[in-house]
Structure 1
Amino acid sequence: MSIYVMSQDNLSQMLEGYDDPAILVSADYQILATNSAYRRKFGKIILEDSPKCFAVSHGYDRPCDQAGEDCPLKAARESKRKEKVLHIHQTPNGKEHVDVEMIPIFDEKNTLKFFIELLKPVPLASGRPSDKQIVGRSKAFNEMLAKVTKVATTDASVLLLGESGTGKELISRLTHFASKRKEHPMVTLECSGLSETLIESELFGHRKGAFTGAYNDRKGLVEMADGGTLFLDEIGDISPSTQVKLLRLIETKTFRPVGGTEVKTSDFRLICATHRNLEAMVKGGTFRLDLYYRINVFPINIPSLSNRREDLPDLVEHLLRQENDKLRLTPSALRLLMAHRFPGNIRQLKNLLTRAAILSESNLIGEDSVRESITLDMKTSTTQEVEERTSNPDVLRENESAYIAWLLKENNGNKPAVAEELGISLRTLYRKLKS
């Protein structure tokens, strides 16, 4: 996509035509103008200081691609068309995920003149501990979040895949609130543990007397989701009979309340989630192939905590803040957590921190409290087994790397500062980085 213009003043005025925050950037990264939406969201920029976009957005002293991140300006310059990338920007509220869209501007001779950069903050997500509900900045997390922001603006059905405790319901909410349906309701059905009759009643509603206990007419979740989003959690747990009815609903957007004859319609966006291997279930005959293809239009894998371990320090701070904003971990307690594996993912981490806070005698949670919390978490484990597990050389080596990577990001790549925080020499840090 190319726009052919000559006047910088006209471009500056054109920025006001965008509802999203927008800036005008020169080919050498200088911010030339901002619109009012940008100033409301991110604050005023002193243009007389010739600010560079990478310095304002990230605090970098060089372009993003030279600092280890994707640079949308470079990509748009090379492709000569619109480019998009998910970045973590500095904002008045701290570091937040922002969906960046870069549009190249050419003159009538097809000479590249400027770029218009549109910035769309991602709702509910933050690159640092905050009052937002989704926190992370690791590569695995950002790749997942980029997919969410791309599919959110469409009406495509989304299938969230991942281990239990990874936050699939939070990601479903993020998808809804980033969509055009955000002003309409999002309704959720937890399919696990419900009988076939109860699931159908919850989904489609029922008429009085349809079954024992149906004393009144009841509207179902499908009808309540009209105009909005229907989220089915643990869809792999529904029975074959319910699968048939769900398939019909998805194909026709029509349904009948249990015990009723009237056919109703509902316009909803479908998001499903499961920790099960649906492909294996299809092969085993316990999940319908046609339904699988209906719900698997846009699959998104939610990374486990072990695959985004460098996010753990920020997650710890975020979860502790939810408990009590005065709670903190000592460095040794954090290192102990970094060496621990979390098969229950973020849900398990949250429970462990809650126990540690209860066991601690002050707002500063020490290593002993964390170790006792881990012991309680491992129901059949003794303290000695916990010691052996958390001192495993392979586990420690793996998580030390993630911890160093996190510290480097925290200190903007300042290696002497990282070495000092780790209590090691700069030479030792370089040796660890090399290995």
Structure 2
Amino acid sequence: MSQTIAALDAGTTRINCFIAELDVAGEIQITGIGHEVSSGISKGTVIDMDSAANAIRRSVHRAETMAGTRVDSVFAGLSGNAVNSSYAEASIQVKGRTIEDEDIQNAFDAAGLDQGTIDYALLHAIPISFKLDHAVGIRDPRGMQGNQLSVHLHLVSVADSGLRNLISCVNRCDLTVTAPVNNAYAAGLACLVQDEMDLGVTLIDLGGGTTNIATFSEGELSWATTIPIGAQHITNDIAKGLSTPVASAERMKRFFADAMGGNPVDREMVEIPMLGETDNSAVKQVPKALLAGIVRPRLEETFEMIRDTLDRSSATQLTDRRVVLTGGGSELSGIADLASQILDKQVRLARPLPIQGLAEAAAGPDCASAAGILIYAATKHSKARNRPSQGRPPPWIAETALGRISQWLKENF
């Protein structure tokens, strides 16, 4: 019997909701898609509860109407909110026994975690590798025998207050959050092929208000962060620089902007409406070269920030020279060339890999996170079918910031 799952990606510029049916084999069939212009969200963070809730409600309603069904819970994507990657290791004695689920859970329990100085909520606890006695790099030790079992965990956390606000906003729409998901992680699940994850790759999700970054190596998410700058900043630069409405600036960015600057002697002109004018005939002409002079500096700044962030992270040493760009901001002409030039890496553009029911119109880079959230949800539901419910609240609604982490690890591995 199939199960209904829903993904919600509430971004700065757009809110996407995907509804799908998950069959007993774990296959996804998308049945409903809802898009809505975002409101009340800035840099991935809720800044106006009522406006954000109304936009989320409309997006979910559109998806429900298309799917012909109602949903009461969603897997919700997160960007911004001070994403933090940390690592934990622990060892336990198993005294020559065959490794079972309980031993893995005990190893998780033994992991010491640094909570830092700011309250963080745990999103993902990902086993990077296991070690059994002297054997290293083990992905799944169950069924093996040894004396000492060690686990190396990657912990992805976000600022607790930002997560709580998003959950409260979703609750206003008469929905519950089944689980929050890091957007860069989700985009990676949607866009990367297995070889890229195994060999090492950096995924850059260029959103409207934020740029989400994740590195994958040896098949797992190895590091994640967020930069508070996105494609909406380019739109705002155009609107200010050319004194034109934001909607017009967005259109110019999509249809005329070139990340590489285009031809510097290009004299082609484009018409834009003037800011504050109500007469549709009140337009002015500007050269495309002027537009390029606004767009490229902002993109250069963005990729320089990404480069500096990557250089400061030891995790990126495992990703070699491969970068995958996705997200709505990646649709700018010439952006892969500029990214390759500044990052000094091989860059490819990506959109979600095929999912049954995902129409071409909704399969663009700007829907990568929503598609990945569905994949994440399908994976979790498939695991849950064979695991009894513990009846305990998830850590993001516990009284403390990290809550009962060991229990969450038990229930999600």
TM-score if structure 2 supplies the norm length? 0.29
Q: Which has the higher contact order (CA 8 A, sep 6+)?
A: 2
TM-score if structure 1 supplies the norm length? 0.28
> Rg: which structure is higher?
1
More strand by share: 2
More helix by share: 1
